[in-house]
Amino acid sequence: MAAGDPVRVRTAVTRNDVARLAGVSTAVVSYVVNDGPRPVAEATAARVRDAIERLGYRPNTTARALAVGSTTTIGLVVPDSTNPFFAEYAWQIQRAATDLGYAVLISNTGFDPGVEERSVRDLCDRQIDGLLIAGVSGLRQIDELSRQGRRIPVVLIDEASSRRGHTTVGPDAATGAERVVAHLLHVHGHASVAMIIGDSADPATDGRERGWIGAHARAGRRLGVVERTPFSRQGGFEAGLRLLGRADRPTAVFVSSDSQAIGVLHAARELGVAVPDELAVGSFDDSEESRFCSPPLTTARQPARAMAEAAVAAVVHGGTTPEHLVFDMPLVVRRSCGCRTE
Amino acid sequence: MAAGDPVRVRTAVTRNDVARLAGVSTAVVSYVVNDGPRPVAEATAARVRDAIERLGYRPNTTARALAVGSTTTIGLVVPDSTNPFFAEYAWQIQRAATDLGYAVLISNTGFDPGVEERSVRDLCDRQIDGLLIAGVSGLRQIDELSRQGRRIPVVLIDEASSRRGHTTVGPDAATGAERVVAHLLHVHGHASVAMIIGDSADPATDGRERGWIGAHARAGRRLGVVERTPFSRQGGFEAGLRLLGRADRPTAVFVSSDSQAIGVLHAARELGVAVPDELAVGSFDDSEESRFCSPPLTTARQPARAMAEAAVAAVVHGGTTPEHLVFDMPLVVRRSCGCRTE
DNA sequence: TTGAAAGCGGTACCAG
DNA sequence: CTGGTACCGCTTTCAA
């Protein structure tokens, strides 16, 4: 290496190189790359394009982000992307975001509020343009974080009801739950149905619980027992064991998520109780897993794709006024309830 | 608002504000924030910290990235994060990355090479510090993309064997597969075992296929039939239907992933074929789903966490020489093979 | 120990 | 239509 050589060994080609090669100013390069904001003579533009091509120039997104104040990146924080429903939801979100030119930074909290807060802080520091968060625990702090500096829009996904001051998207969980419980009650004639629900669900706001109660009320039945357990297969398994170990073992149960229901099915199998004959089960989510388990689950369907698209759109057009975007949950009947369909 | 007020309505607080309030230069603010590269008198540092506190100052990661040339972000591209194994792998990767101060940008290709290339290009444009990619199809283009400008390290994850010039991490798939096939052959006495494998797997390099072949060879048995099908529950289901529809229906099958095995189990159920009595199944992955399905799967375990940590470490210390990091796959025996364990 | 200032790679306003 | 140039917010060298 000659004495006078610059230290920089091998750096990316920048708009300076392009400008030099094309014999124009850097401004012009910018104009042609972004097709604006000023017009460029066709001949000049062609020269620039040619230079870009020859040099293999790629604009530096980081630099652009700094200049324009937008990273075209959104943050996604979920409790557990391993849960089949969240896995699908996250996938649809990533997809929708990509379609709009956004990348997504994903973060798992594992249901830990401390982790949640750290994640959000980190994401905000990274100048994301918007935040999608599922199963918020520390909404207050998150608001604070997202508001310092350039206020970044946050939309609460997987939210059963509206939260003041926030745009939220979620299924009409109450109706969905009510549908499956009513199905168990009325078409299969159970006297009442038990419920297994996530221990992180807030009874006051959780639509599933309200729907379960509503179905019983409307039918004039006494509520079944309820078991609270983590939102996981293992959680469902343990709750299932408890439920099936009771003296007054229920004949039907509504489980608040597919992943828990999978656990319940497993518990029933271990204990030798037949589903649906001895225990009918209704579930919530309609993740792909619910179609393939044994027996396939009768469940209320969360339209993940539509919700994902709505959530991404809402956060990207971040100015919009707070609103609650609700999605209907169709009942999908399979065999875990006792039906012979499918 | 007074007439001379700046237009800028409400912008984030920057190190300028901090510097002003603390009565120091911006350089000093930087020194105390980063604890270097120059020392700062304790008294001064205290003033700065105080100003930071009062102003609620948070450094702008984008600006920092531009200045230092590192985004502390890595890219992760996978075919399908909805597949339970990838879901877990991705989760572990995100976790490991977070521990090292990195964020992860995730992208799904859906097994589409075009999407893969676009994703990688986008990620590189975003100046990621490293790329983790599973199931590469267009390695050549990816190399090219990752090398223009500042060469970003790419490590191939979920790779069964080493790829020239690349550091790769993956399980010892051949041994893992061989273990499950041998188990079926020897402890359960099947004459031979069929195989269901992903249609995107390359027979030449895919360890699972080699292991399956090896087990038969070592036992002096004739190979069973093979079905190729997509890496998904649905794919497994369809292959299962085909396999079980054959005149010479196999008595045992090795399936190349848990998600496909779940599909096979479903197919068997639909056809009234008892597992494991009429069809023994061995699988590959040991994702959580395999513990909860019916019957629970005997499978070769991919140590997702260890692989994730190794992959992240490798990509972060991106200078290291290419190497293949192999992880042993223990056999986990459950009931789908015919064992009574667990 | 501290500060001034030159970048990092783009954007976009203001003049010409 | 095009060029010069002042930022965007932070890092880091160099001089004081």
One DSSP character per residue, B148-190 reads: SSS---EEEES-SS--TTSEEEEE-HHHHHHHHHHIIIIIS--
- Tokens 């038990």 sit on residue: A194
> Cis before residue B276, ω within 30 degrees of 0?
yes
The answer to whether the beta carbon of residue A151 comes closer than 7 angstroms to any atom of strand D is no
Domain residue ranges in chain B: 15-67, 71-171+305-327, 173-303+330-337
Look up residue B312 and give its two tokens. Answer: 């992240």
**In A, residues 42-81, which contact B (CB 8 Å cutoff)?**
56, 58-63, 65-66, 71, 73, 80-81
Spatial separation of the C-alpha atoms in residues A107 and A84, rounded to whole Å: 16
For residue B186, what are the CA distances in angstroms to A69, B11, B20? 64, 70, 77
Spatial separation of the C-alpha atoms in residues B34 and B45, rounded to whole Å: 11
User: Measured in angstroms, what separates residue B27's CA from nucleotide D16's C1'?
Assistant: 15
Mean per-residue pLDDT over chain A, rounded:
91
Mean pLDDT of B168-174: 93
Of B89-93, B147-151, B261-265, B321-325, give the lowest mean pLDDT range: B147-151
User: Measured in angstroms, what separates residue A27's CA from nucleotide C14's C1'?
Assistant: 13
What per-residue confidence (pLDDT) applies to B342?
54
Distance between B128 CA and the closest CA of chain A, angstroms? 10
Say if residue B25's pLDDT is above 70.
yes
CATH 3.40.120.10 fits A15-67, yes or no: no
Say if residue A128's pLDDT is above 70.
yes
Spatial separation of the C-alpha atoms in residues B116 and B137, rounded to whole Å: 8
| Interface touch A104/B103, C-beta < 8 Å | no
| Interface touch A125/B61, C-beta < 8 Å | yes
Say if residue A117's pLDDT is above 50.
yes
Name, in order, each residue with C-beta under 8 angstroms of B126's C-beta and a sequence gap of 6 or more.
A61, A62, A73, A103, B71, B73, B75, B105
The answer to whether the beta carbon of residue B39 comes closer than 7 angstroms to any atom of strand D is no
Q: Would an 8 Å CB–CB cutoff place A261 in contact with chain B?
A: no
The answer to whether the beta carbon of residue A16 comes closer than 7 angstroms to any atom of strand D is no
Nearest to A11 by CA among B50, B151, B332: B151
The proportion of chain A whose per-residue pLDDT surpasses 90, expressed as a percent, equals 79
Please tell me the CATH superfamily of domain A71-171+305-327, with its number.
Response regulator (3.40.50.2300)
The beta-carbon neighbor of B11 closest among A58, A150, A237 is A150
| Interface touch A262/B94, C-beta < 8 Å | no
Mean pLDDT of B253-267: 97
User: Measured in angstroms, what separates residue B107's CA from nucleotide D9's C1'?
Assistant: 29
The distance from CA A220 to its chain's CA centroid, rounded to whole angstroms, is: 36
Mean pLDDT of B60-78: 95
- Tokens 């390290």 sit on residue: B153
The beta-carbon neighbor of B288 closest among A56, A233, A292 is A233
The answer to whether the beta carbon of residue A149 comes closer than 7 angstroms to any atom of strand D is no
Q: Would an 8 Å CB–CB cutoff place A103 in contact with chain B?
A: yes
Of A26-30, A223-227, A252-256, B160-164, give the lowest mean pLDDT range: B160-164
**Beta pairing class for A331-332 and A298-301:** antiparallel
- With 0-12 CB in 10 A as exposed, 13-18 as middle and 19+ as buried, what is B26? middle
Residue from B55, B57, B61 to probe the interface with A (highest A Cβ count within 10 Å): B61
Look up residue B7 and give its two tokens. Answer: 């237009």
Distance between B241 CA and the closest CA of chain A, angstroms? 14
Nearest to B253 by CA among B221, B279, B292, B222: B279
The beta-carbon neighbor of B66 closest among A62, A119, A294 is A62
Residue from B106, B108, B290 to probe the interface with A (highest A Cβ count within 10 Å): B106
| Interface touch B148/A56, C-beta < 8 Å | yes
Say if residue A144's pLDDT is above 90.
no
Same fold, B71-171+305-327 and B173-303+330-337: yes
Spatial separation of the C-alpha atoms in residues A82 and A274, rounded to whole Å: 28
User: Measured in angstroms, what separates residue A3's CA from nucleotide C4's C1'?
Assistant: 29
In A, which residues are within 8 Å of B269 by CB distance? 294
Spatial separation of the C-alpha atoms in residues B248 and A324, rounded to whole Å: 57
Spatial separation of the C-alpha atoms in residues B232 and B179, rounded to whole Å: 23
Spatial separation of the C-alpha atoms in residues A342 and B127, rounded to whole Å: 49
What per-residue confidence (pLDDT) applies to B223?
95
The answer to whether the beta carbon of residue A66 comes closer than 7 angstroms to any atom of strand C is yes
| Interface touch B103/A94, C-beta < 8 Å | no
Name, in order, each residue with C-beta under 8 angstroms of A67's C-beta and a sequence gap of 6 or more.
none
What single-letter DSSP state applies at residue A304? H
Say if residue A5's pLDDT is above 80.
no
The answer to whether the beta carbon of residue B294 comes closer than 7 angstroms to any atom of strand D is no
Nucleotides of D under 7 A from a protein CB: 1-5, 7-14
Phi, psi of A225 (to 5 degrees): -75, 160
Nearest to B48 by CA among B37, B67, B35, B61: B35
| b (16+ CB within 10 A) / e for B272-308 | ebebbeebbbbbbbbbbbbbbbbbbbbbbbbbbebbb
The pLDDT tens digits of the residues spanning A279-337 come to 999 999 999 999 999 999 999 999 999 999 999 999 999 867 888 899 999 999 999 99
Q: In what order do the strands lie in the sheet with B252-255?
A: B226-229, B194-198, B252-255, B280-285, B298-301, B331-332
Q: Would an 8 Å CB–CB cutoff place B122 in contact with chain A?
A: yes
Residue from A102, A290, A292, A297 to probe the interface with B (highest B Cβ count within 10 Å): A292
In A, which residues are within 8 Å of B78 by CB distance? none
What per-residue confidence (pLDDT) applies to B321?
83
Cβ contact A259:A83 at 8 Å: yes
The beta-carbon neighbor of A60 closest among B56, B127, B151 is B127
User: Measured in angstroms, what separates residue B219's CA from nucleotide C8's C1'?
Assistant: 63
Beta-bridge partners for B331: B300
Of A20-34, B13-27, B145-159, give the lowest mean pLDDT range: B145-159
CATH 3.40.50.2300 fits B173-303+330-337, yes or no: yes
Nearest to A159 by CA among A172, A147, A146, A168: A168
User: Measured in angstroms, what separates residue A33's CA from nucleotide C11's C1'?
Assistant: 11
Say if residue B116's pLDDT is above 90.
yes
Distance between B99 CA and the closest CA of chain A, angstroms? 12
Residue A214's H or E segment, with its range, is helix A207-219
Confidence class of residue A147 from pLDDT cuts 50, 70 and 90? confident
The pLDDT tens digits of the residues spanning A268-281 come to 999 999 999 999 99
Q: Would an 8 Å CB–CB cutoff place B321 in contact with chain A?
A: no
| Interface touch B148/A62, C-beta < 8 Å | no
What per-residue confidence (pLDDT) applies to B164?
75
Prediction pTM value: 0.93
Say if residue B8's pLDDT is above 50.
no
Nucleotides of C under 7 A from a protein CB: 1-5, 7-14
Mean pLDDT of A175-181: 97
Spatial separation of the C-alpha atoms in residues B92 and B79, rounded to whole Å: 16
What per-residue confidence (pLDDT) applies to A286?
97
What single-letter DSSP state applies at residue B10? S
Name, in order, each residue with C-beta under 8 angstroms of A263's C-beta and a sequence gap of 6 or more.
A232, A233, A234, A235, A236, A237, A238, A239, A240, B292
| Interface touch B294/A269, C-beta < 8 Å | yes
Name, in order, each residue with C-beta under 8 angstroms of A261's C-beta and a sequence gap of 6 or more.
A236, A255, A281, A283, A284, A290, A293, A297, A299, A336
Q: Which amino acid is at B135?
A: G
The pLDDT tens digits of the residues spanning A42-93 come to 999 999 999 999 999 999 999 999 999 999 999 999 999 999 999 999 999 9
| Interface touch B103/A108, C-beta < 8 Å | no
Q: Would an 8 Å CB–CB cutoff place A91 in contact with chain B?
A: yes
Cβ contact B82:A79 at 8 Å: no
What per-residue confidence (pLDDT) applies to A8?
36
Which nucleotide is closest to B26, CA to C1'? C3
What per-residue confidence (pLDDT) applies to A342?
54
